[in-house]
Structure 1
Amino acid sequence: MADARTDPRSASIAAIRRYLQLRDWKETATKNDAITLFYSTIEGERLEVPLPTRRDFEGAERLISDALRTLSQLAEREAAELADDINSLGFDRIRSIIPDEQVRADSIDLNVATNFILSARRLVTATATNELVPSTFYGRITKDALAYTERCRFGHTFRGSFGFTIESPVIQNDEPPLPGIPQTPPFERRVIQRLVRGLHDVQKAEATENPGIIAENYERGFNANMCEALVDLISGTSDRLAIEVAWSPEWRPSPDVPSAPVFHIKPVTVEIVRDAANSLRRAETARELDILGKVIRLKSEHNPADLLDLTSPREIVIQWMSDEFGPLNVKVNLSPTDYIAALEAHRTGQMVSITGVLERINRTWILSYPKNVQIQF
């Protein structure tokens, strides 16, 4: 038997029941414990939809097909399309549509698909991390954010306009809404709402040519990590993506997000978002810190022992385990004397401590204005 999740012609019994419940259909038992009856009054006429309670009896597949056909006629949609939506009731869905010029015979290049999946995963994980602990950027992802990402699904690609679907799970909402009292959405819904707010900020930043709109709203939208993940997704997939979000009917979207969000990526998007990421990184990291670690790389174009040569850069890279940012490789340009000390520390395997101003420029961590270079014996 075909799996109800992968067979586009079918849907699970539980999903069809939930679809009917969300539309206020009533349920009643029948004399046959293998069949339950749903009914509703539509335009003054009582309609009935019998459903099997389990799939392992003769006639179950026919009842499911009949139910889908009836419901698709009421919704004026194709049965296969409705079945796919029913199976995804417990998920918020993000659809990314690839432009037609990149599609050949209903397919795209494998490297484009691979990059999309990896970058989309990064974007989802970054969004979850920022929802848990809002900040201009973070050094490491949280276990809870990673666990959430693992629960997301990669849905069917869809024809016509070729694209990918990412499905974010939401828990079933068993509490009826009370008038005037907003419900607190689950964490999974809040993650996707943050993504939507951030994309909305991106569009406003494009319209005004002001990346500061993105940066100033990091507490509710994009932080630097989310910006960088979006840049990677666009750069490796297409700079003319369309992104649509379909909310699960289990929870109403918050008033500050649209009910049917649609975003169009433009070529200018990459530069706007990259500028916002750089701004967010500088705002947090441009401060004096002490770093401690082993020298893992040294670079000098001329004789490093020539203490009188002040024109040739002497660069080292220190592997630093930061409590705040996680493991970092930090570049430092040193004076001739300090470079010789770092060279000795590298030779003997000793650690080096340096004080300076930590900055992140693009994806490179740099310690500027170094001082107090000391070998830790």
Structure 2
Amino acid sequence: MNADRNIDQLLDRISLYDLRSYLSRSGWISAFVENKKWQIYDLKKDSEDALQLILPAAENFSDFRERIRQAVVSLSQIEGKTLSNMFAEIAGLNSDSLLIRLQLPSSASSIPIDDAPRHVKAIRNLVVYSACSEIDAKPHYENPLSSATPLFDKFEFCHTFKGSFGFEVATTVAKPLETGNLFEPPKQRKIVERIVRGLILLDEAVKTSDPTTLISSYDTGLNARMCDALAEIGLLGQIPFNFDIQWATSISPSDDVKNFRGRVIGEAEVSILQHVAEQLKIVQPRADEITGIVINLHCVNNPNDNDSRRNVALKIFHREYGPIEVKMTLGPDWYLQAIDAHTTGKQIYAQGQLQRNGNSWSMEAITRFRIVDKASS
């Protein structure tokens, strides 16, 4: 039953273009027919009569899937391959697949329900932030770029494959009538290659105990969010996992990643990933000015006491980093102004040294601080 289910899932991924591509690559020749509903492919084998396969001319016929199934069954018999292998080979012709397998004890038959969405969200973030880097490579992103959505939408979660909790994410990298640069791989392929390139650099960083190259290669490899996502797939080192790739056979991958073999991401890898993420998130102090609303005030003692620590958080929209939360430590007069702004719903303007460590933004050495009247902002 599981085999039948996997075949059905693979069948759903096979397009008419995939099957035509496979036939053309295997020596089948499209024959001319006047009937616009069918396509006939011939294959001559030695001196035998030509073999024929009949395909629907379009995918909008009601029995399209059944016709494709029949054609693949015939192909498996002609080529002497198992049905599941035949389906997998055709489905993988024009698609790249990321294969992620959690290394759970053999006795485990399930995973906690709260953990499942964490695995899936982490895999999603890995692809999303790789897409961001293909649009505008940065060491870190506060949030995904909106322009990355069309690229991410071309990826899909497939069935969990046989074994201990395996996830497959696939994307089509070759489609009919595409007019892209023949010498430039499609964006989806570049997203996958970036992930694989990062894994290769991660492996080198673990072997040499030196993450320098991994940190400096964010423009072609992992950004901070991708590091976070890889670490989170295995719940921050709690669960080792295998990461492998199946390249589309119709388009060769770039030379620097084509020999990639599956990697295991365990505690050592997660430790490196967390360090690299922290380094890539650092923004050195620089003079800046911000305007935003007060979202948090904290002072344990009397704000007027000299030894009191008065903390304020502003929610701002930064021209470069987007929506961020900036923390500040203030003196008593400015803290009272922050309380007033929070009470009246007014904004605060501040000027000083803006910096980021890890996921936290702060402003130090503040030289200007005032309430901004909405009418004049």
**Superposition TM-score, scaled by structure 2 size:** 0.84
Letter in 2 for 1:70: L
Judge conservation of contact 1:295–1:318 (CA < 8 Å) in 2.
yes
Please give the root-mean-square deviation of Cα atoms over the aligned residues, in Å: 3.4
* Residue 164 (1) aligns with residue 167 (2): yes
CA distance in 2, matches of 1:22, 1:174: 17
1:135 aligns with 2:134: no
Q: Write the distance in 2 (CA, Å) between the matches of 1:141 and 1:196.
A: 20
- Do 1:356 and 1:371's aligned partners in 2 also have CA atoms closer than 8 Å? yes
* Cα deviation digits, residues 181-210 of structure 1 (max 9, x gap): 972111111111111111111111111112
The one-letter code matched in structure 1 to 2:226 is M
- Is contact 2:28-2:43 (8 Å) kept? yes
**1:19 counterpart = 2:18:** no
Show structure 2 runs of 5+ residues with no match.
Answer: none
Q: Which moved more, 1:143-152 or 1:295-304?
A: 143-152
- Residue identity matched to 2:364: S
- What is the CA distance between 1:15 and its match in structure 2? 2.8
Alpha-carbon distance in structure 1 between the residues aligned to 2:102 and 2:15: 30
Q: Distance in 2 between matches of 1:122 and 1:170?
A: 20
* Residue aligning to 2:70: 65
Change in CA separation of 1:197 and 1:156 when aligned onto 2, cut-off 3 Å: same
Equivalent residue number for residue 79 of structure 1? 83
Report the CA distance shift for 1:136/1:59 in structure 2 as closer, same or farther (over 3 A): closer
**Quick check: 1:51–1:63 contact (8 Å CA) kept in 2?**
no
Q: 5 Å matches for 1:292-311?
A: 292-306=291-305, 309-310=306-307
CA distance in 1, matches of 2:64, 2:140: 56
Partner Cα separation in structure 1 for residue 174 and residue 254 of structure 2: 16
In structure 2, distance between residues paired with 1:328 and 1:166 = 31
Q: More displaced, 339-348 or 34-43?
A: 34-43
Q: Which amino acid aligns with 1:219?
A: D
Report the CA distance shift for 1:72/1:128 in structure 2 as closer, same or farther (over 3 A).
Answer: farther
* Cα deviation digits, residues 111-160 of structure 1 (max 9, x gap): 33211211111111111011110111223322231122122111011113
Distance 1:372 1:125 in 2: 38
For residue 138 of structure 2, give the secondary structure of its aligned residue in structure 1.
coil
- Which residue of 319, 326, 343 corresponds with 1:323? 319
Query: In 1, distance between residues paired with 2:65 and 2:158?
Result: 26
Could you tell me how far apart the structure 1 residues matched to 2:65 and 2:291 are? Answer: 67
> 2: distance between equivalents of 1:191 and 1:12?
22
Kindly indicate whether residue 114 of structure 2 is the aligned counterpart of residue 115 of structure 1: no
Aligned length: 367
Rounded Cα–Cα distance in structure 1 between residues aligned with 2:237 and 2:70: 38
Task: Note the C-alpha offset of 1:58.
Answer: 9.2
Aligned residues of 2:97 and 2:171 also touching (Cα < 8 A): yes
The CA deviation at 1:294 is: 1.4
Quick one: which amino acid aligns to residue 189 of structure 1? Answer: R
Change (3 A) 1:62 1:198: closer
Superposition deviation, residue 295 in structure 1: 1.2
Percent identity, aligned pairs only, is 25
Name stretches of at least 5 consecutive residues in structure 1 with no aligned partner: none
2:11–2:69 contact (8 Å) kept in structure 1:
no
Provide TM-score, normalisation by structure 1. Answer: 0.84
